[in-house]
Structure 1
Amino acid sequence: MVKTYSYKLAFFLILSFISIKKTSAQGNVLQFVQAGKVDAAKLAQAYLHPFFRGVGYGMNSAWFNSARAKAPGRFDLRIQATGAIVPISDRTFDINKLNLSNVEAFNATTFTPTAFGNNETGATVMLKNDNSVNFNLPPGTGINMVPSPQVQLTIGLVKESEISLRYTPKVGGDNYGKVSSWGIGLKKEITKLLPWKTEKVIPIDLAIAVGYNQINYDYNIAIHKQVGEEHNINLNQRLEARFYGYNIDAILSKKLSFFTPFVSVGYNNAKSNLGILGEYRVMAAGKKIETLTDPVSIKQNDISGMRANIGFALHLFYMRLYGSYSIGEYRAVTAGIGLGIGK
């Protein structure tokens, strides 16, 4: 059953990576790589900044919708999606603030779209020591929200605890690359562990939850004619990306018949590791041809900070509806639907 739901979600998961695919298409890769190895990494990092943060924030979201743990053996299987809203400040970046060593803005326009900025032509840059070599940076996607879908199975364990599993097999193809993901989360209800019989004095549920998520993405760039070559050759050009994230949350909820509202506060962290790999032949100063190997490597911490959530779970016989709103380094909304047995 999990595998069936995973394949149904595959299309939406791949949509999350369209911006990276655009960056790695033939023309856009060369747009970055032409800047030279050091500057290419800085430009790619700035362009993909909201993508890294949005994916990190989204994959750490929606592990829970209640503090109450399921009874042993009870479960639910859900499909859900989180949209991390890219703030206006992350929809463009200033070329002049990147301290580039090899290229500079061609004219007075120094601001250019990020991956989730407006779908308009990027700023023009040129080689500092040869202004006859210039090129445009990639446009934005025109989308201001980073999607991050999940398939999640939650099972009740003993002693007021539960485990959640996320899994999507490797899916995709040549057009958009291949994506896979997995994650594991644990939740422990602590209401009965507090002193003074808190559950009787204040009729609420309290819990602590942790989660870890990982997304892998691989894209083989189509073989194309290189600068100075008459024929198409395979230089093993590809893009590889790995995203890792974890979160720790304290949850408070109150079950009201079939409706359970909740609030939570916690800490979440996300990291990314992305490389544009292979060999690339580009035009350098003086019309010389330069070969760059593995020109872009980005390893960074994208999200690290507190966040707060408010949301609900709605139980309608065997069906569940979920929703939440999150405030942190990014704002995000989550909606989901699931099937389950028991509370």
Structure 2
Amino acid sequence: MKKIGVILIALISTLSSNAQENIDDLLAAGIDDAKRFSTNYVKPANDGVAYGINNGWFNNAKTPKRFGFELSIIGNATFINDEDKQFVLNVRDYENIRFPDNSPSKGVATALGHNDPPQTVIITYDDPIFGNQEQEFELPTGIGSENINLIPTVFLQASFSPFKGTQIKGRFFPKVDVDDVKVGLYGVGLQQDFTTLLPADHLLPITISGLVAYTHLDGSYDFTSSSNVAGENQRVETETNTLLFQAIVGTRFKILNFFGAVGYISGENETSLLGTYTVSDGVFFSEDIVDPFTIESDTKGVTATLGANLKLGFFGLNAAYTIADFSSASLGMNFSF
């Protein structure tokens, strides 16, 4: 199970470490400015992860027979859009941040992008001894610096059909800890084949079903030992909760089937910068900031999926492509009993 989560752990690790990089320094500009920057920086990554963890919930419009059990291994690649790799930093929206060349605004990297060349800002802060002071900081870059252009996710999923046409699903891997990064995921879903409710369902050439699924992901990154700012228990914690609704239509042949679906995703994301941060001028003044801020955002959007399923006895393969704000491709192996 630990190996199943390695790809997602690597992604959360990269996102979290880049999110932390220099954001703790921005606290010198004030909590409001640091939070405003972090909100724009993290939002595309939260959206991409929310879409990624909601793919692969189904591999066919038709559900297994009653008491049927299915085990699946699902790999998914969510593609990063160019427009999600940067945002416009408008200095008028900030109280204590400006560009060294006094530009009114510039495009800077989100957690999914890369600042090339590096981008710096001037932070103004009030020192109780020396008055108004300025210091230059380099803005954090994103996972684009590692040439990462997609968000990979991998799931183990199991399903059981307690009634004809009804399939209960679950996906899960336990929270594991790798290099100060902890991440875990679980989800539950219900797929109902509506054609089984008809008296002559076996005569229809297609199957129509519906799916509703809930997914929860939480992760944390402890960067106390690598932070540029003195303090204790410094970490980034992130949590995503989503609901997915899909209507599915597919063929109902024995070996090869095709399916399509339209759906809607609704999610809530929360990312917190926690711990104690000692902001200091290095000589006379220092201030402890505890649990600086929490960022909350929503992920909402329509999805459309096309796919195919090949079934050979108890073994099956499926592939699908989903068009959404963050489009993705999925591949799954299924074992039915």
Asked if Structure 1 and Structure 2 have the same fold, meaning a TM-score greater than 0.5 normalized by the shorter chain, the answer is yes
1:77 equivalent to 2:71? Answer yes
Structure 2 letter corresponding to 1:38? D
1:155 equivalent to 2:152? Answer no
d(CA) in 1 for partners of 2:106, 2:181: 31
Deviations 1:98-140 (A, max 9, x none): 8122212223472111111136354211124657311011112
d(CA) in 1 for partners of 2:321, 2:91: 33
Question: Which secondary structure does the structure 2 equivalent of 1:237 belong to?
Answer: strand
Structure 1 letter corresponding to 2:236? L
d(CA) in 1 for partners of 2:183, 2:61: 31
Counterparts of 1:220-231 in structure 2, within 5 Å, are 220-223=222-225
Query: What does residue 258 of structure 1 align with?
Result: 255
Counterparts of 1:1-343 in structure 2, within 5 Å, are 6-23=1-18, 25=20, 27-96=21-90, 99-107=93-101, 108=103, 110-118=106-114, 120-128=116-124, 132-142=134-144, 143-173=148-178, 175-193=179-197, 200=203, 202-223=204-225, 235-283=232-280, 288-301=285-298, 303-341=299-337
Change (3 A) 1:325 1:34: farther
Change (3 A) 1:96 1:277: same
Q: Answer with 53-62 or 255-264: which moved more.
A: 255-264
Query: What does residue 3 of structure 1 align with?
Result: none
| TM-score, length basis structure 2 | 0.88
Is 2:240–2:268's contact at 8 Å kept on the other side of the alignment?
A: yes
Structure 1 letter corresponding to 2:286? I
d(CA) in 2 for partners of 1:181, 1:63: 14
Figure out how many residues of one structure are paired with residues of the other and give that number. 326
Deviations 1:183-233 (A, max 9, x none): 1000110014469x5763x51000011000001112222336876xxxxx7
Deviation at 1:309, TM superposition (A): 0.6
Is 1:113–1:122's contact at 8 Å kept on the other side of the alignment?
A: no
Change (3 A) 1:66 1:297: same
d(CA) in 1 for partners of 2:67, 2:92: 54
d(CA) in 2 for partners of 1:13, 1:203: 39
Change (3 A) 1:24 1:113: closer
Is 1:96–1:105's contact at 8 Å kept on the other side of the alignment?
A: no
Is 1:263–1:308's contact at 8 Å kept on the other side of the alignment?
A: yes
d(CA) in 1 for partners of 2:28, 2:14: 19
Question: Which secondary structure does the structure 2 equivalent of 1:16 belong to?
Answer: helix
Change (3 A) 1:250 1:90: same
Question: Which secondary structure does the structure 2 equivalent of 1:329 belong to?
Answer: coil
d(CA) in 2 for partners of 1:91, 1:38: 23
Deviations 1:50-94 (A, max 9, x none): 210011111122110211111122222112122222211111111
Question: Which secondary structure does the structure 2 equivalent of 1:48 belong to?
Answer: helix
Gaps of 5+ in 2: 126-131
Change (3 A) 1:63 1:226: closer
Question: Which secondary structure does the structure 1 equivalent of 2:22 belong to?
Answer: helix
Aligned-residue CA RMSD (Å): 2.6
d(CA) in 2 for partners of 1:160, 1:335: 24
Is 1:281–1:291's contact at 8 Å kept on the other side of the alignment?
A: yes
Deviation at 1:28, TM superposition (A): 3.0
d(CA) in 1 for partners of 2:92, 2:16: 23
Is 2:224–2:232's contact at 8 Å kept on the other side of the alignment?
A: no
Structure 1 letter corresponding to 2:141? P
Change (3 A) 1:23 1:291: farther
Deviations 1:251-293 (A, max 9, x none): 0000333212100011111111111101112346998533322
Is 1:9–1:151's contact at 8 Å kept on the other side of the alignment?
A: yes
Deviations 1:134-171 (A, max 9, x none): 10111121222122322111112213111111111111
Deviation at 1:235, TM superposition (A): 1.5
